[in-house]
Structure 1
Amino acid sequence: MKLFMRNERNFEKRVKLHLRHGAMMPMMMMLMIMMLMLLRIADASVAATNATCKHATNMWGDPNPNIFYVCSVADQMPLQLHCPQGRGYFNGHGHLGCLPYDQWPACRPTMELVAAQLAAGCNSSESNAKDQPWATLDPNQFYMCPGVNSAPLLLSCAPGKGFVQTVGCADWSLWRRQMQCEAYY
């Protein structure tokens, strides 16, 4: 009889342990679902890079503000993710993640400058004729006049390049240097 009692107690302990650890499973499932939702929102690519993880639990940026990385929990390899259109990865001034370009606290022309240049448009009497092409808030794009007194065209740089007023479309490393943005990724 005593042997039976001992087995019953062991069974109770096993059930309690199972219930305690079993309660963690829904939490783990919820965490996985949230991670998958974040990846879908970030428009993630499945491509892993050859680099090693910079942070085990945090994300980090690429010189290209359209790209950022997270470390895969399974194999500790970085996964390359893409920010949604119109957003770029920014890390600094209390911000971390894919922010709309017009909300970046650094690394971009002022909204006033872009608005003034756009308002002046392609009028030959304005001083902006010599400042062509000119930047937008989105570093992937720029404005250019096709002719005098015409509407400015919104153009995009080639993939892998960002617009710098003094250079034109440049690779992202040069864009970072020119825009004094090397500390924010």
Structure 2
Amino acid sequence: MIKDTVIVAGLLALCAAAVIYVDAQAQVEGCLYENELWGSEDGTKFYFCLPGTNTAIEQSCAPNTFFVKNDTVSGCIPATSMDPNCVNLEPVGSCVGDNLNQPQPSSDPTKYYLCTSENATPLQLQCPDNKAFVKQDGYLGCFEWSTWRDIRDCPS
């Protein structure tokens, strides 16, 4: 009897440990794939489908990593391993010269830096939702992700 009680208690503990807390905001209606991960348009998030539902769970990659899914990898990889057209690895410039007049890119494409005065510390600002910052080929500002990818020649 004690052995059965210990087994049942162990099973209950395993079941309790297997329960995943899901934040309601992290749930997205609609699954692209039932048994595979897929990435968000901005590359900083990925999704997986809850079994038997049409609900996906959104997960974020760690800072300075991006989600990639191809023939060799499916997961978050360091920005330094990414296609250089899809990330900005340049450090932010100091607040002098042209940097005083134009916003500067951040390593996080959804953000940018702005100098408020000469020799000040650049302020990091956020683009509006679902937009990314670009400063390239005469383009300057926050754009929809599809436009950002076209400007940067970054495959989706």
Is contact 1:133-1:144 (8 Å) kept?
A: yes
- 5 Å-filtered alignment, 1:1-185, equals 33=18, 36=20, 45-49=25-29, 51=30, 53-75=31-53, 77-83=54-60, 86=63, 87-92=65-70, 94-100=72-78, 102-106=79-83, 107-109=86-88, 111=89, 114-115=90-91, 117-118=92-93, 121-124=94-97, 128-129=99-100, 132-165=102-135, 166-183=139-156
Identity %: 26
Larger Rg: 1
Is contact 1:135-1:164 (8 Å) kept?
A: yes
Higher relative contact order (CA 8 A, sep 6+): 1
Is contact 1:123-1:148 (8 Å) kept?
A: yes
Is contact 1:63-1:176 (8 Å) kept?
A: no
Is contact 2:95-2:118 (8 Å) kept?
A: yes
Aligned length: 137
Rounded to whole Å, the distance in 2 between the matches of 1:73 and 1:152 is: 45
Q: Aligned to 1:149, what secondary structure does the other structure show?
A: coil
Counterpart amino acid of 2:150?
A: R
Q: Which residue of 2 aligns with 1:9?
A: none
Any gaps of 5 or more consecutive residues in structure 1? Answer: 1-25
Give TM-score scaled by structure 2 length. Answer: 0.67
> Residue 139 of structure 1: CA displacement?
0.9
Q: Aligned to 2:150, what secondary structure does the other structure show?
A: helix
Counterpart amino acid of 2:96?
A: N
Rounded to whole Å, the distance in 2 between the matches of 1:71 and 1:160 is: 22
Give TM-score scaled by structure 1 length. Answer: 0.58
Which has the larger share of helix?
A: 1
> Residue 178 of structure 1: CA displacement?
2.2
Q: Aligned to 1:167, what secondary structure does the other structure show?
A: strand
> Residue 108 of structure 1: CA displacement?
0.8
After superposition, what is the alpha-carbon deviation per residue over 1:72-92, rounded to whole angstroms, capped at 9, x for unaligned?
2122x1414030562443324
Which has the larger share of strand?
A: 2
After superposition, what is the alpha-carbon deviation per residue over 1:56-115, rounded to whole angstroms, capped at 9, x for unaligned?
21111121334322122122x141403056244332484422345x34512112x3xx22
> Residue 145 of structure 1: CA displacement?
1.1
> Residue 46 of structure 1: CA displacement?
4.6
TM-align CA RMSD? 3.1
